[in-house]
Amino acid sequence: MRETTDSVSSLALSPGEQALVSVPSMQSPLSALPAEAFDNLLVVSATTSPKKVEQLVVRRGGNPATVGVIPVTGSPSEYDGPLWTTDPVDPSDLTGISIRLSEALQYVTKEGWVVFDNVNVLLMYAAEKSVYRLLDSVISTVRGKKARGAYCLVRDAVTDETYAQLSGLCDVAVQQE
pLDDT, tens digit, 9 for 90 and up, residues 34-76: 999 999 999 999 999 999 999 999 999 999 999 999 999 988 8
Of all residues in the chain, what percent carry a pLDDT higher than 90?
80
The residue-averaged pLDDT of 120-125 equals 96
Nearest of 59, 67, 61 to residue 83 by alpha carbon: 67
Say which amino acid occupies 172.
V
Judge contact between 168 and 136, C-beta under 8 A.
no
pLDDT score recorded for residue 5: 43
Banded model confidence at residue 7, pLDDT cuts 50, 70, 90: very low
124 pLDDT band, cuts 50/70/90, is: very high
pLDDT average, residue stretch 78-90: 93
The rounded distance, in Å, linking the Cα atoms of 162 and 80 is 37
2-176 is classed in which CATH architecture?
3-Layer(aba) Sandwich (3.40)
Q: Does pTM surpass 0.85? A: yes
Number of CB atoms found within 10 A of residue 74's CB: 11
- The full DSSP string for 132-176 is HHHHHHHHHHHHHTT-EEEEEE-GGGS-HHHHHHHHTTSSEEEEE
